[in-house]
Amino acid sequence: MTALVERGMRFLPMLLMLAGSAGAQILKLEILRTVDGKTFTDVNVTAKRPDGISITHSVGTARVKLEHIPPKVQAMLGGFDRDAAREARAKDESALAAAEAAITRQLAAMKEGEATTGAARKTQPRFVKNSDKLTVKPVIYGGVRCLQITVQAGANPLSVRFGGSRSYQPWETDVFYTRCGSEYRVTAWEGGTMVDQETSRAKTGLGSDYKLR
């Protein structure tokens, strides 16, 4: 097994620093070469765990498994209980498996909820106020007198006519601007039936106020 470099062992008194207070380093090493071939420099062992150690080093942090800690460093740390290490890992694996199972259940519940909500939206009756299919408001847009036209289609395709024509799919909404004079007339049609109308003088919501779609 790979051991610490001889320089580190010659200056063991300088390398070994026991923790004097909570949060202090447990062991300081100039170089730590692990059994699996990794090399860390400027190492501080910040925690000794049943199955390994936590360290900070020159470029970050790491956790080193018990099996990868050189025997001499294990001795510096007071040794390890292999049975305690196996028990700790078994608990970690059990907790991880439980967490993954909980996440899987949560994702499945979310998907089921989304599917249920989507189906409910498709089947739920909707009430649409006919007079809300058009809302026309004169405004100044870009320094020009315009109409701000808000469209709310119902369960059927809708067309809006104001000189030209715009078509909308069921439940589609839109807000657009068009130039106008002091007199205007905007109408909304479902097929060949006019269902709403706004002029410069009045708004006419045709049909019943509320209609089940």
pLDDT in tens, the chain (213 residues): 444 434 444 433 333 333 333 345 689 999 999 999 999 999 999 999 999 999 999 988 999 999 999 999 999 999 999 999 999 889 888 887 887 888 888 888 877 777 666 555 555 444 444 446 888 888 886 777 888 889 888 888 989 998 788 999 988 888 888 887 778 889 888 888 888 888 888 776 654 444 433
Tally of domains in the chain: 2
- Report DSSP state, residue 22: T
Q: How many helices (H) and strands (E) does the chain have?
A: 4, 14
Do the Cβ atoms of 133 and 153 come closer than 8 Å? yes
Do the Cβ atoms of 44 and 25 come closer than 8 Å? yes
Whether 93 is covered by a domain: the verdict is: no
- CA dist 139 and 148 (Å) reads 7
- CA dist 110 and 89 (Å) reads 31
Whether 167 is covered by a domain: the verdict is: yes
Residue that is written with structure tokens 């400027």 in the block: 42
Whether 117 is covered by a domain: the verdict is: no
What's the confidence (pLDDT) of residue 55? 93
Containing structural domain, residue 18:
6-85
Whether 116 is covered by a domain: the verdict is: no
What's the confidence (pLDDT) of residue 176? 86
Do the Cβ atoms of 207 and 130 come closer than 8 Å? yes
30, 60, 85 - which closes a domain? 85
Single-letter amino acid code for the residue at 55: I
- CA dist 26 and 45 (Å) reads 5
Whether 10 is covered by a domain: the verdict is: yes
Looking at the fold, whether 140 and 205 belong to one and the same domain comes out as yes
Which pTM was predicted?
0.39
127-129 and 210-212: which strand pairing? Answer: antiparallel
- Residue partners of 84: CB distance under 8 A and separation at least 6: 50
85, 112, 138 - which closes a domain? 85
What's the confidence (pLDDT) of residue 20? 36
